[in-house]
Chains A and B, each alone.
Chain A
Amino acid sequence: MKEVTGIKEIIKPENLAYRKSNILTDEIMHYCPGCGHSTTHRILAELIEEEGLQQDAIGVSPVGCSVFLYNYIDIDWQEAAHGRAPAVATAIKRLLPDKFVFTYQGDGDLAAIGTAETIHACNRGENILIIFINNGIYGMTGGQMAPTTLPGMKSSTSPFGRDVRSMGNPIKMTDLVATLPGTYYVTRQSVHTPANVKKTKKALRKAIQYQKLNKGTCFVEVVSNCPSGWKMTPTKANAWMEENMFPFYPLGDMKTPVEVSDQQSKTGKND
């Protein structure tokens, strides 16, 4: 391993402040530079390590950019057909109710071909965690328009911008599933700054803990960038995302468990 280091005297095991989780494999991820998928994988691996779930976690990987996810996180995986991850996860969770089962899906997978599976899994209140990466585009196939593409946003199949009169309106999946009675915890986060990464990690940790209660589907959306699909540098893509994606997909919790919000109002603490 080739390395470049700062002050050498400080580099001692007892001074370690942060290292990559061991559950994240040494394989170099195939994602483009700056992709939000990689950041989300990394925090997911950290959480699985911290919560001690390596033996109990079963992930369902989707079709899309994150199709090779099973190569990067060292837990049990099942690959699902395009969009069918919630259906596969339902089966796994019902057969192995003690395991922590989650799906990891992009917007083309979850919000286009898999809309029915997603909505019905959430409506049935399956005890799974759905992680939804929303970058407003079909990243893997070359930046085509997705159901989540913003109005007026350019993509390779909407070169003059999405015209909502002929191409329809973008779908806010997270708002949609928050209205269903089966969901227990629904939130929307992002991973482009250290503060947002911390918030997302906190939200995912909550979702993992709620999952242990078996009270319903947890749904965590991560608004992500797609530097290659948007044809920008990673830092510009992050700025563009802040400017354009966040007004349309505002960050924050959509639905929190009643008990938790009750406790918060009693103690006056806002998490």
Chain B
Amino acid sequence: MAKIKGSIVVNIDRCKGCEVCMVSCPTGTIAMAKEVNSRGYNYAYPAFPDLCIGCASCAIVCPDGVITVYKTKI
């Protein structure tokens, strides 16, 4: 069976660290960074990129359109 793999790109400066994507991620890929962005928010980042399935739940729920999602079959 083909496995679906995904990958996300987070625009750091646009992220406000609301954590809504982290809660919505079904595989626990996303975590909040310890570092802050230029506006002082802890931004979201793919802490476990191997777990990502490219479902785009994070991007769909993200208020600020921070996340771009890529998806492919392996």
Contacts and interface: CB of A to CB of B under 8 A. Distances in A.
A213 interface: no
B16 A34 contact: yes
Interface string A187-215: 00001111001100000000000000000
Q: How large is the interface on B (under 10, 10 to 19, 20 to 34, 35 or more residues)?
A: 35 or more
Contacts, number: 132
Contacts of A234: 18-20
Nearest to B61: A194
B63 A6 contact: no
Contact of A34 (B8, B20, B38): B20
Contact of A39 (B6, B54, B63): B63
A260 interface: no
Nearest to A236: B19
Given A4-B46, A18-B69, A193 B24 contact: yes
Given A10-B71, A17-B6, A34-B63, A194 B18 contact: no
Interface of A: 1-12, 15-21, 24, 28-29, 31-39, 42, 191-194, 197-198, 227, 233-235, 238
Given A7-B5, A8-B7, A35-B63, 7 more contacts: A6-B52, A11-B9, A17-B6, A20-B65, A33-B41, A38-B63, A38-B65
